[in-house]
Structure 1
């Protein structure tokens, strides 16, 4: 497996059932071909085995009834034993090949899907419909839809070989019998196709209910809501929501499945009746000696054990679902990627920051014609401290996502040093920006790894550099975490959160300070704080912002906040309303204008007067 370490190449083309074979073979040619060869040889042996068993029975009857030599009995018995031995060995080798195929799909196919997900433009991750598509494609990739599609194709070819051989034998005896069975079996093809498509469509429909089942299940059973479950007794109410979503999903799946089973069993019943009729028809050539007793018994046993129609319908049903899956795979791989997603980290370092310019930027969310950002133009200068304020829904967080390239403008452009944002590679952008979001991630790993996650510790400033440990210590102190480190059992190497048995959970405010330390330790040119202090009281928030202001004197900072007490430290405050900058200036300038900012500030004065 070591030579197959590169992810599978999945270009954005139209995928079909052809790729049910092509992709597994590309991932693990040896294992995939061995799996198919074992099944196809086994299928070819089935009609041969029927002839061998028939000859064995005839030889045994002749030896017993007329004293014929027993050499033929032993010869055919040896062939029967050889066929049985192959089936036993085949099953063991088939399981091994299937395991190797699964591991290869995990190593190459799953990795390719994961890389694609990491490269998706943020707008796709933020879209509920696209997220459902991602979940359908990416669920259990190494053991799910792709491998099952390959199995279904192999099963279909094996079925054709197996049944074709038996029907050839039957047709040689009664010419019309084989044609009649084929005609009846063909009628089941449409049932299998319709059933498979309906089943996959049902999975698409119930995805929204599955999300609710997962969410309410996590609320009922997870740790995050444990305190409120115990304190407020929310289990009954949340349980009702979980049950409603579960019942809706189960009902849709059940109705679809029942329809399939009714159709399938009805078709199977008709075909079994046809087999009984064929066996009755064979009684005549049996009586005339055209068919030997051994061949009659062998054919009867083979057709009875084969369950032709049911197996055929199951395979076609699976292939029909697989065809729908490949439509989803095509749609997933066609999703747009972030412009910087495939850039290498070997690019040149980010140049010194001259300016960031928003030039006529407008943006609306999918399905909403109302612009969240409406023709906004502004230039951020290096080394200055900015604050962006406004009511909820004014577009503050959306503006941050546009600045950092998570969203692409519907019109206008974001320029860094006069170049469009998409001109810069991922490594360069990571050196431009570090952001602390209000809904920051709580990584259940050590405090050290939490802070240095995804970060190459770089120079402190243009005058020189400091070591990694010194830089981490500086970030911890600047974020007010020195006391937290002192009380942790293993210091900065202590796992935080509840994932590990020896993990130490932090308070909401302490988690926010960890996120701030993560931003401070990165050698980025622009640091953005998007309301990261929501869990702190106004006084603590003001103190933290004052500290942040002092340790980022030579860095461009952008503070997003609906609490205006902290904005007084900014060189310039931008007031957003309905996606536009309606006011800008320093705190004193805006207060003198007695506009929207002054009104908002006056309404919050009591929150932070204690901090002055």
Structure 2
């Protein structure tokens, strides 16, 4: 996996995120900028009111003049505070919009465009968990959720210090130096805390991912029966506690580091304020300052000290924000480019030849070869069966064929054309797969079959009928417009396993690609239902190159050729009759399965073994 080459420094990450604000919440940038002068003016006039009152008394001004001056200042202060609170409220309530857009659009655009092989890798899955944690779970989402408020606070503190530094220096330069030293100390610790948080995020991602997997499993109603009937709840609770405690220990360590930042901040504020109060009190008692000046300067030093503290605190938040933004940018800017060719799907015949030439493959992060120098030719229009035990490499081989996985070396040829020479989307058009895993989208039956809302109704009704699905669809109130996935809408329904398989068959028929791939689509069905379904698949495969994968050998007897895979190698191949005649591994597996399925059918459908009726008839004197 190639990561972004961007250094992702804090300033670069702030600018990057402000661009997102400009795109999704442009008014937010104006609110951030407006909050700066409004807050500074509000604070300035707030500390001026006591000074004006005392100065009026000191100078013997009239009550009316003093009250009017205070009223004028109070009015400006109130307007500024009111506008400032509006800005802050808007930033608080709508400031998460850019982050949600960042997660919803660029992140998921990257997921949609990412090659399948890269998407299923452990590194990418861990990164997705981190981004989900930052965005939707709260987790450490604070700094990025409240970026607008934090950034405006940082700008306010910087501006306030810049405006009033001259007055602090005028009081005593050493006082400013003491304030700066305490702030630097706080800032240095804040940098350490931010780096620690970034490292902590990386280290806890594994336990966090496992904890969330268990939560999703327990929440998913599809697992509810198994969890209860197989008494898995106690086991899942135990695992959840283990992963939750691991995750919590990381969060506790992080919170302790953050608590240290708060403690240092409190000590720094205490030191600055004590020094400032002692010095100003000495100046007042020495007659150097008037009471009005003393009141004003004490308030000014207090706010100046607070701004310095905010700079350190906001800098700490921005460091954590930058660490989180680094996670987003590393994912979004990840290199996912594939070398695409120029060939289109229409350059392939309706019954293409398929050749695997010296294919080797291992999954990312593993050195174990699934295939090593594997070779296979599938003739045009051939019906090929791949059989073998679980883990033999059948599904992996089909994923390689369909371009979902990329061979470590070797070539896959379609009608003599290298699969890498095709445009990716065009290459996908060559295949009509029916997988064992049932994928149903929360859309209408028609959209699930056609793959979009633009449906050719005549073609749709034809494939529904061919798939043996029409009687059921016709009886539904909304027919093919019926929504699926019950959790997605009040009127939505769930289909049974058999009906789902028929809908997937209709989906494959609707696509009408030149290569059919059926990867154990009937594994959940009983032998009789499977046999009927495979007869329909046989009809569907006429005039196409078809590959059938099944762990039930009897279901694939109609195929032109059967290949028995074991550990990524061809153990035996031939027609069903040839393999049975050879009495090798295929023969042994077939005989074992035949005995098992015959007994299973007898029990399930109350059939007698084929030998039993003859014995019964003889006992009754009929034969």
TM-score range, shorter chain: 0.7 to 0.9
- Structure 2 counterparts to residues 24-35 of structure 1, below 5 A: 24-29=17-22, 30-35=26-31
Other-structure match for 2:106: 112
Q: Deviations over 1:422-457 (max 9, x none)?
A: 322243123201222222313233322222224876
Distance 1:205 1:383 in 2: 52
Distance 2:101 2:269 in 1: 43
* 1:559 and 2:557 are equivalent in the alignment: no
Other-structure match for 2:607: none
Q: Is the 8 A contact 1:374 1:579 kept in 2?
A: yes
* 1:408 and 2:406 are equivalent in the alignment: yes
Distance 1:347 1:75 in 2: 80
Distance 1:86 1:278 in 2: 28
Distance 1:348 1:398 in 2: 23
Other-structure match for 1:37: 33
- Structure 2 counterparts to residues 277-316 of structure 1, below 5 A: 277-304=275-302, 307-308=306-307, 311-316=310-315
Q: Is the 8 A contact 2:161 2:308 kept in 1?
A: no
The Cα shift of 1:264 comes to: 2.5
> Which residue, 341, 358, 363 being the options, matches 2:361?
363
Q: Is the 8 A contact 1:25 1:32 kept in 2?
A: no
Q: 1:608 to 1:141 in 2, by over 3 A?
A: same
Q: Is the 8 A contact 1:565 1:608 kept in 2?
A: no
- Structure 2 counterparts to residues 411-560 of structure 1, below 5 A: 411-454=409-452, 468-499=456-487, 500-560=489-549
Distance 1:515 1:16 in 2: 49
Other-structure match for 2:174: 176
* 1:578 and 2:562 are equivalent in the alignment: no
Q: Is the 8 A contact 1:357 1:379 kept in 2?
A: yes
The Cα shift of 1:503 comes to: 2.8
Q: Is the 8 A contact 1:359 1:413 kept in 2?
A: yes
Distance 1:149 1:558 in 2: 54
Q: 1:290 to 1:76 in 2, by over 3 A?
A: farther
Q: Is the 8 A contact 1:527 1:558 kept in 2?
A: yes
Distance 1:598 1:78 in 2: 101
Distance 1:299 1:382 in 2: 91
- Structure 2 counterparts to residues 251-262 of structure 1, below 5 A: 251-262=249-260
Other-structure match for 2:616: none
Distance 1:435 1:374 in 2: 25
Q: Deviations over 1:28-51 (max 9, x none)?
A: 4343531331233245436xx43x
Distance 1:446 1:123 in 2: 29
SS of 2:158's partner is helix
Residue range with higher mean Cα deviation, 81-90 or 132-141: 132-141
Other-structure match for 2:53: 60
Q: 1:119 to 1:180 in 2, by over 3 A?
A: same
Q: 1:310 to 1:25 in 2, by over 3 A?
A: closer
Distance 2:214 2:274 in 1: 52
Distance 1:159 1:540 in 2: 73
Distance 1:55 1:485 in 2: 78
Distance 1:151 1:419 in 2: 58
Distance 1:87 1:271 in 2: 25
Other-structure match for 2:68: 74
Residue range with higher mean Cα deviation, 383-392 or 23-32: 23-32
> Which residue, 578, 583, 587 being the options, matches 1:594?
583
SS of 1:226's partner is helix
Q: Is the 8 A contact 1:56 1:294 kept in 2?
A: no
- Structure 2 counterparts to residues 122-201 of structure 1, below 5 A: 122-137=116-131, 148=146, 152-201=150-199
SS of 2:262's partner is helix
* 1:264 and 2:262 are equivalent in the alignment: yes
Question: Which protein is bigger by CA-based radius of gyration?
Answer: 2
SS of 2:553's partner is coil
Distance 1:303 1:604 in 2: 87
Q: 1:456 to 1:598 in 2, by over 3 A?
A: farther
Q: Is the 8 A contact 1:374 1:578 kept in 2?
A: no
Distance 2:438 2:533 in 1: 17
Unaligned runs of 5+ in 1: 1-9, 458-467
The Cα shift of 1:179 comes to: 0.7
Q: 1:321 to 1:236 in 2, by over 3 A?
A: same
Q: Deviations over 1:318-366 (max 9, x none)?
A: 222233234433432353436389x99x977554354222221111112
Distance 1:307 1:276 in 2: 13
Residue range with higher mean Cα deviation, 123-132 or 308-317: 308-317
Distance 2:271 2:594 in 1: 86
Other-structure match for 1:16: 9
Distance 1:455 1:389 in 2: 37
Q: Is the 8 A contact 1:15 1:329 kept in 2?
A: no
- Structure 2 counterparts to residues 340-419 of structure 1, below 5 A: 349=346, 351-353=348-350, 354-419=352-417
SS of 1:534's partner is coil
Q: Is the 8 A contact 1:435 1:529 kept in 2?
A: yes
Residue range with higher mean Cα deviation, 428-437 or 587-596: 587-596
Q: Is the 8 A contact 1:216 1:238 kept in 2?
A: yes
Aligned pair count reads 588
Distance 2:269 2:47 in 1: 24
The Cα shift of 1:80 comes to: 4.0
Q: Is the 8 A contact 1:433 1:524 kept in 2?
A: yes
The Cα shift of 1:237 comes to: 3.3
Unaligned runs of 5+ in 2: 603-609, 611-623
Q: Is the 8 A contact 2:284 2:294 kept in 1?
A: yes
Q: Is the 8 A contact 1:286 1:292 kept in 2?
A: yes
Q: Is the 8 A contact 1:478 1:548 kept in 2?
A: no
Q: 1:326 to 1:241 in 2, by over 3 A?
A: same
Q: 1:399 to 1:514 in 2, by over 3 A?
A: same
SS of 1:480's partner is coil
The Cα shift of 1:208 comes to: 2.4
Task: Give the structure-1-normalised TM-score.
Answer: 0.86
The Cα shift of 1:312 comes to: 3.5
* 1:212 and 2:210 are equivalent in the alignment: yes
Distance 2:361 2:513 in 1: 26
